[in-house]
Structure 1
Amino acid sequence: MRYVLILAIVSVLFFSCGKTGDVVPNVAVNLRIPITDPRIATLNAQGGAVLISGAGVAGIILYRGAYGYVAYDRCSSYQPEKLCAVTLDDTGFTVTDPCSGSKFSLTDGGPVKAPATRSLKAYTVNATQFEIIVYN
C-alpha cells in the first residue's frame, strides 16, 4: 500500500509540471518617447503604428487606436522561443509573424489568423502632452 501511495504522489508531481516555455518572457520595459520625436509622426493620426527597437523581447509596436495608444511586444505569441518579431501589414490594422504566418489585430493584440491562439503581450501606455510612456 505504501508503494502505491508513493507512486501516486510521484505521478501527480510528474504530470502536474506543465510546459512553461510557450509564453513570451517577462522583461522590464520603461520606454519614454517625446511626442515631438519624428520617428513616431505616424501616431499623430488614429490608425498609425510604429515599430520601436531596443525594448521588450523583440521590440515594441505602438499603435494609436480609437481610444488612445496601445503597445505590444513584437515577439509572436506563437512559439515565442523562436523570438520571431511581427511586422506591420500594409493595412495598418494587423501585424504578421513571418515565421508562422499568424496574424494579430492591433486594436486588441488578439490573433486573427492561425496557428496563433494567444494575444500579443501587451504593455501599459500613458500619454501626456509631452511624451508617451510604455511600461510594465
Structure 2
Amino acid sequence: MKRIAGILSLFLLFTACGKQENFVPDFPVNFSAPLTDPNISRLSTPGGAVSFNNYGVAGIIIYRRADNQYVAYDRCSTVNPEQKNAVVLDDPALTATDPVSGAKYSLYDGSPVKAPAKTSLKRYNAYVAGNTLYVKN
C-alpha cells in the first residue's frame, strides 16, 4: 500500500510541475495619474481606453467600462508570451489585438474573443482614490 501511495505521489508531482501555457510573468506595476491628466483624457467617458509602454511586461492598457469601473491589463499577448508581443487597442476601443498572431481580447474583462488566444490578458488592480487613478499589482 505504501508503494502505491509513493508511486501516486511521484506521478502527481511530475504532472503538477508541467509548463503552464500562455503564462505572462509577474512584473511590478505602480502607475498613478490625476484624473485631470491629459494623457488619460480618453478615460473621462465609459468605453475609453489608453495604453502606456513603460509599465508591466509589454505595457499596460487601462479601460473604463460602461459601469464606470476601471480595469487594467498587461499589453503582453498570452499567445507566445515569451515573445512579449504588445497588443494594440482597436478602434472602437472594445477589443485589443495581437498584431503578430491576430488574437483578440475583450477590454471589458480581458477574455480572449478570437483564436489563437485561449487565456485572458493579465489583469492588474485599477482604482480611483480621491482624484487619482491607480494601477498596481
Q: Same fold (TM over 0.5)?
A: yes
Partner of 1:93: 94
Q: How many residues align?
A: 132
What TM-score do you get using the length of structure 2 for normalisation? 0.86
CA distance in 1, matches of 2:66, 2:56: 24
Aligned 1:28-47 pairs, distance under 5 A: 28-47=28-47
Gaps of 5+ in 1: none
SS in 1 for 2:40: helix
Question: Larger Cα Rg: Structure 1 or Structure 2?
Answer: 1
Partner of 1:53: 53
SS in 2 for 1:125: strand
CA distance in 2, matches of 1:103, 1:83: 15
Q: CA deviation at 1:17?
A: 3.1
RMSD: 2.0
Aligned 1:1-136 pairs, distance under 5 A: 12=11, 14-20=14-20, 22-67=22-67, 68-136=69-137
Question: 1:21 and 1:114, CA in 2 relative to 1: closer, same or farther beyond 3 A?
Answer: closer
Amino acid at match of 1:44: S
Identity %: 51
Runs of 4+ in 1 over 4 A off after TM superposition: 13-16
CA distance in 2, matches of 1:131, 1:33: 6
Gaps of 5+ in 2: none
Bigger mean CA offset, 19-28 vs 76-85: 19-28
